[in-house]
Structure 1
Amino acid sequence: MSFFNPEKLQTAQKANLDLLQQISGKVFASVEQLSQLQFKALRDSTEEHFEGVRKLLSVRDPQGFAELQASLTQPSAQGERLAEFNRQVQALIVDTQSDIAKLTSSQVESGTRQVEEFVETLSKNAPAGSEPVVAAFKSGLANAGTVFESAQKAAKQAADVAQSGFEAASAAPGKAAPGAGGKATSGNK
């Protein structure tokens, strides 16, 4: 009797290929969104610089130059745009990581079930006297599952800590900006 079912192997390979395609699609979509964010930021920054040059060229007297110089020392919209750009990039990274984690988690669960089925089949067909070996194999499999779950929880906690740290850091310089402080406190609850 064969312990390996070629149909199950083929199904698992197809599922892995589908998973890889879904992950690749998510990564490409995220890269596309990041590129759009970067182009928008570049366009906005370029417009701001051209506007600054226009203002400089329109200065006709020392008083106008002093007013222009005073306006340059005020908090700029560019700093606020940079903070918003960073928030959007962080949100994109977190969403992408979350989606990929969900995809891989379901695949890992499916693979775990297949391994458990294989172990059950193996234990049913194992020769007499091999029960301790089968029990040790089952115990090792259960320990590996526990380690994987712990690693998933630790990765999620690390992502949450990084997210809250980023929110706190991006809110600190923008305290004068309206609404900047509200976002940081909502993520720390």
Structure 2
Amino acid sequence: MSFFNSEKLQDAQKANLDLLQQISGKVFASVEQLTQLQFKTLQASTEEQFDGIRKLLAVRDLQGLAELQTSFTQPNVQAERLAEFNRQVQALIVGTHSEIAKLTSRQVEVGTQQVQEFVEVISKNAPAGSEPVVAAFKSSLANAGTVFESAQNAVKQAADVAQSGFDAATAAAGKVAPGAKTTSGNK
């Protein structure tokens, strides 16, 4: 009797290829979104620089120059723009990671089910006296599943901690910027 089922192997290979294609598609879409975000940010920054130069060229006296200089040094606005850009990049990263994790998790579940089915077929057809080996193999398989789930949970927790840290840093930057503006205004 053969334990090898070529149809199941081909199906698994096709499923893995489809998964790889889906992951590649998600990565390429994310890279495209990041590129567009960077392009829009660069374009807005360039326009802002040209507007600043136009305003500088329009200055006619020292009072106008002082007012213009004050408008250029608005750390709160600059900090908010940077924080918004970072929020968008972080959201893109988290979204992509989440989508890829869902795809791979489903594939791992299917693969685990196939391995369990294979082990069941082997255990039913194993020669007498091999029960301890089959039991050890089943135990190893269960332990591997537990380790995988623990690793998934650890990665999710690390992503949550990183997101919390990013949110806290963004909030702190928003609070520091107004203080910096007040300090520079007092000088």
Normalising by structure 2, report the TM-score.
0.91
Which residue identity lines up with residue 89 of structure 2 in the other structure? V
Residue in structure 1 matched with residue 47 of structure 2 by the alignment:
47
Q: Which amino acid is 2:167 matched to?
A: E
**2:125 maps to which residue?**
125
Structure showing the higher helix proportion among its residues: 2
Distance of 1:39 and 1:60 partners within structure 2: 34
Deviations 1:150-184 (A, max 9, x none): 0000000000000010011012111388xxxxxxx
- Provide, for residues 53-96 of structure 1, a one-character-per-residue CA deviation record: whole Å limited to 9, x for no partner: 11111111111111112222333533322110100000000000
AA matched with 1:51:
D
Would you say the 8 A contact 2:79–2:173 is kept in 1?
Answer: no
Structure 1 gap ranges (5+): 178-189
SS for the counterpart of 1:174 is helix
The structure, 1 or 2, with the larger RCO (C-alpha pairs under 8 Å, 6+ apart) is: 2
Contact kept? 1:26, 1:96, Cα under 8 Å: yes
Given that residues 45 and 78 in structure 1 are in contact (C-alpha distance below 8 angstroms), is that contact kept between their aligned partners in structure 2? no
Match of 1:25 in 2: 25
Which amino acid letter does the alignment assign opposite residue 33 of structure 1? Q
Aligned length: 177
Structure 2 residue runs of 5 or longer lacking an equivalent are: 178-187
Q: Output the CA distance in 1 between the equivalents of 2:84 and 2:17.
A: 37
Cα root mean square deviation, aligned = 1.3
In structure 2, how many angstroms separate the alpha carbons of the residues matched to 1:98 and 1:34?
Answer: 16
Task: Give the equivalent residue in structure 1 for 2:137.
Answer: 137
Residue number in structure 2 paired with 1:101: 101
The 8 Å contact of residues 19 and 103 in structure 1, kept in 2 or not, is answered as yes
The 3-state SS of whatever aligns with 1:173 is helix
Distance 2:10 2:51 in 1: 61
1:109-166 alpha-carbon deviations (Å, 9 max, x no partner) = 0000000000000001111100000000000000000000000000000000000100
User: Which runs of structure 1 show a deviation greater than 4 angstroms over 4 or more consecutive aligned residues?
Assistant: none
CA distance, structure 1, for counterparts of residue 11 and residue 58 of structure 2: 70
Q: Which residue of 2 aligns with 1:10?
A: 10
What corresponds to 1:182 in structure 2?
none
